[in-house]
């Protein structure tokens, strides 16, 4: 068995991306730093330990440029101190297009991106 396969079970390639972001749930808003992104989620860093509700849905927003922003609905997948992993639950077409382009440019490998997109399509199918 390949050790890389056994230690990393992620279906989506992550890119390291350090950017300011805002996470909200309608009642509260938190400033945070994006540490990494994939087509299916992100790792965020907060100024202090994460105190939000684990079972809530949040909106993550961040700007790629003055003209391009990404917004997605996310849920908490794990929390370790001041870092929290979030799973993308919904993303609009404009945001996924921008995110796809960002991932593509940072991966430098269109085959990896196509594999991620195929996994995303498979991951999004309802169970039969």
Kindly report whether the global pTM for this prediction surpasses the value 0.85: no
Ordered domains of the chain (ranges, CATH): 14-121 (2.40.10.220)
Q: What is the pLDDT along the chain (128 residues), one digit of tens a residue?
A: 333 333 444 455 677 788 999 999 989 999 999 999 988 899 999 999 888 888 999 999 999 889 999 999 999 999 999 999 999 999 999 998 898 888 777 776 556 555 555 554 455 555 54
Residue 39: other Cβ atoms inside 10 A: 22
Nearest-angstrom CA–CA distance, 5 and 57: 31
Residue showing tokens 């039969």: 128
Mapped onto helix, strand or coil, the DSSP state of residue 37 is strand
Nearest-angstrom CA–CA distance, 84 and 3: 26
């Amino acid at each position: 068995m390949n050790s890389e396969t056994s230690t990393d079970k992620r279906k989506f390639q992550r890119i390291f991306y350090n950017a300011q972001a805002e996470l909200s749930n309608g009642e509260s808003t938190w400033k945070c730093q994006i540490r990494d992104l994939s087509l299916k989620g992100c790792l965020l860093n907060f100024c202090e330990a994460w105190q939000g509700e684990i079972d809530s849905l949040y909106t993550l927003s961040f700007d790629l440029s003055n003209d391009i922003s990404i917004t997605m609905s996310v849920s908490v997948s794990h929390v370790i101190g001041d870092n929290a992993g979030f799973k993308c639950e919904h993303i609009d077409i404009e945001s996924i297009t921008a995110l796809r382009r960002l991932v593509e440019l940072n991966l430098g490998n269109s085959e990896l991106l196509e594999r991620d997109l195929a996994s995303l399509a498979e991951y999004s199918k309802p169970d039969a």
